[in-house]
Amino acid sequence: MVVPHKTQCYGDSTDPPEEAIPMCTLRNFPNQIEHCIEWGRDKFNELFVDTPGDLTSYLDNPQLFVSQLKANSTSAGAVTSLGRMLEFIEMKNDNSFDKCVAMARDQFNSYYDYQIRDLLSVFPVDHKDKAGQPFWSGPKRAPSPITFDLSNPTHLNFVVCYANLIAVALGIPENRDAKAVASISEKVPIKPYEPKKVEVEEGKENESKALTPDDEVLIERFLARIQKVSAEIKKEQIMPAEFEKDDDSNLHIDFIDACSNLRATNYQIKNCDRNKTKMIAGKIIPAIATTTAMITGAVTAEIYKFAQGFDALEDYRNAFINLSLPLFLFSEPIPVNKIKSKDYDPISMCQTKSIPEGYTIYDKTLVDKGSLTFQEMFDFLEKEYNIEITLVSCG
């Protein structure tokens, strides 16, 4: 057990703040490939992270999950989440890769064909706004539905990636053979198109909301069905994905690439290659080669010193470099700040006692006594270090 003397939290992200993209643009009116990739990344989280995660939370504690879902979601959002969970549970019970392919095919039609038709039913290509101007103009591109075509590599790749990612999440044996997946795809029954009444506001948000029956009734029906069909499933059998851009074998980037390029095709946006998808979906910031080389050289020089056994602080150097000026400044690192007792600490607004005197943020007190209760740990610290514990925090 490790008891830190002092905890300081620093932001560890090197990503600069991004300009917010309105949700209406991502959902219905993309006009750049970046919008499509962000949409694909969101679908990845929705399908392979959030839904399996919700399912494991439900299996762990159904009552707590339901209460939190109702408290933190709209009724429509709760219905959507429970509907996806039910689909996953039924597929897990079937334990069939063919069902994963069938879901992938249905999802393809939903994303790239049926939802586009629904949107065009509200805003036809020749639709005029309130001012009498063409609605589909400027940044708004009129979409067109896509019909699934097994001979199209992107279409097939979407199904292969989708089916296998679902299989991984549910512990179903995978099948990455594109020909085998194509053969299965030809045989699975496909849900026909059923027009939906969709209301889309032309105001600020332009967000679409499907008109559904009483959501509360649907929620209770879903919960009853989920409780019935999930009896044999253990939470350990469900594996939510953890997005990893650099593992080419996990199909994460492949899915987002197919997902985003198909949406780009819907909106007549030029497709991009996999590397660009990886860069944007993984939020990789391109570095200037000269700067990278300069930093690498400066750091490597310090690593040589460490490898050769130099242990004096003054043997090492901090570097401040500005290549545009150019300016190169090297300085000795300052010693780490030691925390000492004070008669009056302006932050705590009282006298403080440092135990041990002069510790740093890198120091730890190791309590190597096996499994202890909190009270046993408190007693040990008071006996050995004369410390009275008044607060324990986690996270």
Same domain assignment for residues 149 and 81: yes
Question: For residue 152, what are the domain limits?
Answer: 23-281
Checking if the pLDDT of 110 tops 70, the result is: yes
Least confident of 20-29, 58-67, 87-96, 291-300: 20-29
Q: Please, what is the average pLDDT of the chain? A: 85
Same domain assignment for residues 197 and 340: no
Checking if the pLDDT of 303 tops 90, the result is: yes
Q: Does residue 193 lie within any of the structural domains? A: yes
* Contact of 173 with 167, CB cutoff 8 Å: yes
Query: How many domains is the chain partitioned into structurally?
Result: 3
The confidence score (pLDDT) of residue 326 equals 85
By annotation, the residues acting in catalysis are 24
CATH number of the domain at 182, please: 1.10.10.2660
Q: Does residue 174 lie within any of the structural domains? A: yes
Tokens 């290549």 appear where? 323
Checking if the pLDDT of 313 tops 70, the result is: yes
Q: How do residues 138-182 score in pLDDT, each as one tens digit?
A: 888 999 999 999 999 999 999 999 999 999 999 999 999 999 999
pTM across the whole model = 0.65
Residue of 16 and 38 predicted with greater confidence? 38
Same domain assignment for residues 135 and 161: yes
The confidence score (pLDDT) of residue 294 equals 87
**Percent of the chain at pLDDT exceeding 70:** 88
Same domain assignment for residues 154 and 209: yes
Q: Does residue 65 lie within any of the structural domains? A: yes
Q: Does residue 378 lie within any of the structural domains? A: yes
Same domain assignment for residues 157 and 250: yes
The confidence score (pLDDT) of residue 12 equals 34
Least confident of 11-20, 63-72, 201-210, 325-334: 11-20
Same domain assignment for residues 52 and 124: yes
Same domain assignment for residues 134 and 172: yes
Same domain assignment for residues 239 and 159: yes
Same domain assignment for residues 66 and 192: yes
The confidence score (pLDDT) of residue 21 equals 53
Q: Does residue 162 lie within any of the structural domains? A: yes
Confidence grade of residue 328 (pLDDT, cut at 50, 70, 90): very high
Confidence grade of residue 8 (pLDDT, cut at 50, 70, 90): very low
Same domain assignment for residues 199 and 99: yes
Q: Does residue 172 lie within any of the structural domains? A: yes
The confidence score (pLDDT) of residue 195 equals 87
Q: Does residue 16 lie within any of the structural domains? A: no
Same domain assignment for residues 128 and 213: yes
The confidence score (pLDDT) of residue 11 equals 31
The confidence score (pLDDT) of residue 1 equals 39
Checking if the pLDDT of 191 tops 60, the result is: yes
Answer with the one of 281, 299, 322 that is the final residue of a domain.
281
Mean pLDDT of 79-85: 87
Q: Does residue 391 lie within any of the structural domains? A: no
Same domain assignment for residues 326 and 238: no
Locate 141 and state its tokens: 């591109």
